[in-house]
Structure 1
Amino acid sequence: MCDAEEQDLYAVLGASPSDSVQQLRHRYQQLALQYHPDRLLQSSSEAAGSRFVEVEAAWRILRDQNTRRQYDLQRREECVYTYCCRCGGGFSISEEETRKSQQDDEEEEAGQHRGVLVCCDTCSLTVYVTWSLNGKT
Structure 2
Amino acid sequence: MNDTQVTLVGYVATQIDYKETVNGPAARFRFAVTPRYYDRKKESWADGATSFYTVWARRSLAVNLAGSVSVGEPMVVHGRLRVREAPPDADGNRRISAEIDATAIGHDLNRGTAAFRRVVRTDVPLMLNQKAAVV
Question: TM-score w.r.t. structure 2 length?
Answer: 0.24
Q: Greater share of helix residues, 1 or 2?
A: 1
Identify the structure with bigger relative contact order (alpha carbons < 8 Å, sequence gap 6+). Answer: 2
Larger radius of gyration: 2
Q: Which structure carries more strand by proportion?
A: 2
